[in-house]
Amino acid sequence: MTERVLSILRRHGKRIYCLFDGDVINNLSSSQIKLLIEQIEEIGSVRKNLAIFDYQLKPEKYDLYISSGISPMIVPSDKDVYLALECLDVVNNLQTDILCVGVSDESMLPVLVKAREKSEILLISQTKESIKNYLPYIDYLITIKDIVEDTT
């Protein structure tokens, strides 16, 4: 096999589990969500996409996420707590190679430092500048700003 084919096979062998703070993807259009998922799939095979919200979604937004392959989860209180617990559960109990986390602030930094011990980290954020403290602990980065600029 050629090196290119081997590279593709290795890439698709990586299992990715995605967890998003709902605020990170809330203002994305259908085409922007599709582009985001395509960029994630360039790194590996997505096993699950979960977006956590602490507010009720409009039916059209809910349908948009479902049709894009993202499962919305509405929690009754602080979504950061649920996101942190879900991250730790994924890296400790599921067979995953890459933990993909969409963050809106630096509240998840201690959790991702710990998760980094067992899994590679793909971070999704609004801009690179907004998550500069995460940079030493992540393996991959996708910014929403770049996705929005690519589709406009």
Per-residue model confidence (pLDDT) at position 149: 85
Condensed to tens digits (0 to 9), the pLDDT of residues 108-134 reads 999 999 999 999 999 999 988 888 999
pTM for this predicted structure: 0.87
Radius of gyration of the chain (CA): 15
Condensed to tens digits (0 to 9), the pLDDT of residues 8-21 reads 555 557 899 999 99
Q: What is the mean pLDDT of the chain?
A: 88
Measured from the Cβ of residue 16, the count of other Cβ atoms closer than 10 Å reads 22
Question: Which domains, from first to last, does the chain contain?
Answer: 3-151 (3.40.50.1010)
Per-residue model confidence (pLDDT) at position 152: 66
Please determine, for residue 35, whether its predicted confidence score (pLDDT) is greater than 70: yes
HSE at residue 107, side-chain half, CA atoms within 13 A, is: 13
E strand map for the chain: 15-21, 45-53, 71-74, 98-102, 120-125, 140-143
What whole-number distance in Å separates Cα of residue 21 and Cα of residue 15? 20
Structure tokens at 97: 């190679």
